[in-house]
């Protein structure tokens, strides 16, 4: 029953986003909708998610919208991470971080750090993962985002646990 409910919810979300996309002419809004569609399709149809992210990136580049490029580059990283191409995911996540730094867009930069850390965890490169997890936590503390801080703490503990360091995990 649960897969049916999830599929139904996804259809409502994707149908709604597609309808908005069909009537939205504003470039930045279209980019956001394309990125949203990419995210909506990520788990069930990664090829479709990839196409929406690529379309958003192309539009962002066409209208020289660096913030739009950033969100679509991150979406591409998400697709590659989801399908297990960690090298490609890391490439896109590092590009996302570079754009955020270039724009001095410190809002949600912790997402970039966290995504990079996730790739390093998957690759069992825990020392690099910890560097980025601590950066994410530092940014989330600056933003006073208690939900993100809890998630950071969990991720740090989980990484230390993978390293067989239960005292550090606690």
Number of CB atoms found within 10 A of residue 117's CB: 26
Taking only the tens of pLDDT, the chain with its 170 residues reads 444 444 445 578 888 888 888 888 889 999 999 999 999 999 999 999 999 999 999 999 999 999 999 999 999 999 999 999 999 999 999 999 999 999 998 888 999 999 999 999 999 999 999 999 999 999 999 999 999 999 999 999 999 999 999 999 99
- Return d(Cα 111, Cα 108) in angstroms, integer: 6
Half-sphere exposure of 5 (CA within 13 A, CB side): 2
CB 95 within 8 A of CB 101: no
């Amino acid at each position: 029953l649960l897969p049916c409910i999830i599929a139904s919810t996804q259809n409502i979300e994707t149908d709604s986003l597609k309808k908005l996309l069909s009537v939205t002419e504003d470039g930045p809004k279209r980019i956001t909708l394309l990125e949203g569609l990419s995210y909506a399709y990520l788990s069930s149809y990664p090829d479709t998610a990839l196409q929406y992210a690529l379309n958003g990136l192309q539009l962002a580049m066409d209208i020289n919208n660096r913030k739009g490029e950033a969100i679509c580059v991150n979406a591409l990283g998400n697709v590659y991470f989801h399908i297990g191409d960690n090298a490609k995911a890391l490439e896109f996540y590092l590009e996302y971080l570079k754009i955020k730094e270039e724009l001095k867009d410190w809002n949600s930069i912790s997402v970039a750090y966290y995504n990079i850390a996730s790739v390093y965890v998957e690759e069992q490169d825990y020392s690099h993962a910890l560097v980025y997890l601590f950066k994410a936590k530092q940014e989330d503390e600056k933003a006073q985002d208690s939900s993100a801080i809890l998630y950071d703490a969990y991720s740090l503990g989980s990484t230390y646990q993978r390293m067989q360091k239960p005292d550090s995990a606690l």
